[in-house]
Amino acid sequence: MPSANSILDAYTYQNKLKIYYNQKRYVEDALNQSEIANWYNTAAQSNIGKFSQVQELINAGNYQSAYNLNQTINATLLPEINQKNYNSIFLNHYLRMQKMPAHH
């Protein structure tokens, strides 16, 4: 039969393991959160973030600001170039339509 000390030692060891794994999981979660936050902040400052801001401005009906922001994007990859061109065509057309007199 195991002694009281060995049972207590096993119990203490199991508790220490639980605490260790809980702390490890907490640290890993915190690292994942900070990595996600770092990625998000980096993406928000990149062309991806600017395209997202252009879309938000379009959705809000602020076409001139969307056009101005779109013009500042330095697109280098083909998908970015295509998105910038698409935005420019759409916004140029919409801004021209706003300036036209209404026909009755």
Cα–Cα dist 41/43, whole Å: 5
Summarize pLDDT for 21-37 with one digit per residue, the tens: 677 677 677 767 777 77
This prediction's pTM: 0.62
One digit per residue, pLDDT tens: the chain, 104 residues?
A: 556 566 666 667 676 777 766 776 776 777 677 777 777 777 778 888 899 899 999 999 999 999 999 999 999 989 899 999 999 999 999 899 888 776 65
Q: How many residues does the chain have?
A: 104
Q: What angle do CA 37, 41, 45 make, to 5 degrees?
A: 165
